[in-house]
Amino acid sequence: MAGLPVCVLGLGLIGGSVLRAVAAKGRETFGFNRSFLGARAARDDGFTATTDLDEALSWADRHGALIVLAVPMPAVAPLLEQVSLAAPRCPMTDVISVKGPVLEAVRAAGLLDRYVGGHPMAGTAHSGWTAGTADLFAGAPWVVSVDDHVDPVVWTAVMELAMDCGSVVVPARSDEHDAAAASISHLPHIFAEVMALEAGEVPLAFALAAGSFRDGTRVAATAPDLVRAMCEANAEELLPALDRALRVLERTRDSLQRHRSVAELVEAGHGARVRFESFGRPDIDNVVVGEGRWREALAAAGRAGGVIRSALPGPDSR
């Protein structure tokens, strides 16, 4: 049996791919896009899509659909205001790359009890409806929040959405997600920009640049607006990560100057990278959603690298 109807708000790369993926699973879908061109492109591909937010939210309300927020962070708060008026009982998730600020906006809109955050960790260098595909998320990790407030029924609906998109689910708290994203994505983006900038000012640097430079600066080729959006939205967690990195760099600089040695950093960094390479991905299959300390159990399992590959039993299956 197909899962809940899905109403996707925002038909860019991620939202458009979600719409395609769940439609391919036989679910009823409805799409909203602010710009006419995106909505028309979706309709041209045979989907129901509108530029009329009220129309989309009325449909969601009538069908008890799962609402998927797939808009940039600055558009979230005004959209939530409309959701709270027109479809306040619908379960809701999002696909935005930062989780704490969305959670706060949802809380401010009074929709917390219907909301479970999400973050599919997939993407391409392109954007917009036409860049999307039904298999964009195949095999990719999809973070589903297990914050203290989350409801087991909504959580299960979001887990099923991720699985219908072909993803494996990584359960995580919103705050831990954002701290991890700062260190594995936002800091690497900042570092890549610094390396590209530095090399750009040194004569001969581009002429000699090889693999370590090409790899290390690859993400500096990302569109500046996207890099800014993710780094700035996660400033709360990126700042302490930057501070820790600055302290390590300053200590390394002093050690290089005084003792001609970078041993401490290089041995610790190499050790961490080796641990990363051997980091396992065990199945999470021993938690029942809604039973006992299920949120804490899932957060701990996600932290240890665990992923959900087959739907966990939950409220529906009891």
Binder among 44, 52, 54, 267 for a copy of itself (CB under 8 A):
267
- Give residues with Cβ within 8 angstroms of 92, minimum separation 6: 66, 67, 68, 69, 83, 106, 111, 114, 115, 116, 154
Does 125 contact a copy of itself by CB under 8 A? Answer: no
Give the nearer residue to a copy of itself in terms of CB position, either 18 or 299: 299
- Window 154 to 183, contacts with a copy of itself (CB under 8 A): 170, 172, 176-177, 179-183
Binding segment for a copy of itself among 55-63, 75-83, 151-159, 257-265 (CB under 8 A)? 257-265
Binding segment for a copy of itself among 23-31, 32-40, 59-67, 268-276 (CB under 8 A)? 268-276
Give the nearer residue to a copy of itself in terms of CB position, either 8 or 241: 241
Query: b/e for 276-286, b at 16 or more Cβ within 10 A?
Result: eeeeeeeebee
**Dihedral over alpha carbons 222, 119, 183, 273 (to 10 degrees):** -90
- Give residues with Cβ within 8 angstroms of 256, minimum separation 6: 262
Q: List the structure tokens of 242.
A: 């930057």
Nearest to 226 by CA among 97, 138, 103: 97
Binding segment for a copy of itself among 30-38, 39-47, 151-159, 260-268 (CB under 8 A)? 260-268
Binder among 1, 148, 260, 292 for a copy of itself (CB under 8 A):
260
Would you give the binding string for a copy of itself spanning residues 180-219, x where CB under 8 A is met?
A: xxxxxx-xxxxxxxxxxxxxxxxxxxxxxxx-xx-xxxxx
Give the nearer residue to a copy of itself in terms of CB position, either 120 or 314: 120
Binder among 64, 110, 221, 318 for a copy of itself (CB under 8 A):
221
- Relative to beta strand 141-145, strand 66-69 is unpaired
Binder among 2, 37, 125, 263 for a copy of itself (CB under 8 A):
263
- Window 33 to 62, contacts with a copy of itself (CB under 8 A): none
Query: Rounded distance, CA 173 to CA 232, Å?
Result: 20
Does 138 contact a copy of itself by CB under 8 A? Answer: no
Q: List the structure tokens of 44.
A: 């041209």
Minimum separation from the CB atom of position 110 to a copy of itself (A): 26
Give the nearer residue to a copy of itself in terms of CB position, either 44 or 267: 267
Q: Which residue type, as a one-letter code, is found at position 269?
A: G
Binder among 158, 227, 287, 308 for a copy of itself (CB under 8 A):
227
Using the 8-state DSSP alphabet, how is residue 21 labeled?
Answer: H
CA distances in angstroms from 42 to 12, 130, 161, listed in the order given = 10, 8, 20
**Residue 219 near residue 184 (C-beta atoms within 8 A):** no
Binder among 125, 239, 291, 293 for a copy of itself (CB under 8 A):
239
Minimum separation from the CB atom of position 289 to a copy of itself (A): 19
Binder among 2, 113, 304, 310 for a copy of itself (CB under 8 A):
304
Nearest to 64 by CA among 142, 5, 108, 123: 5
- Relative to beta strand 6-9, strand 29-32 is parallel
Give the nearer residue to a copy of itself in terms of CB position, either 260 or 292: 260
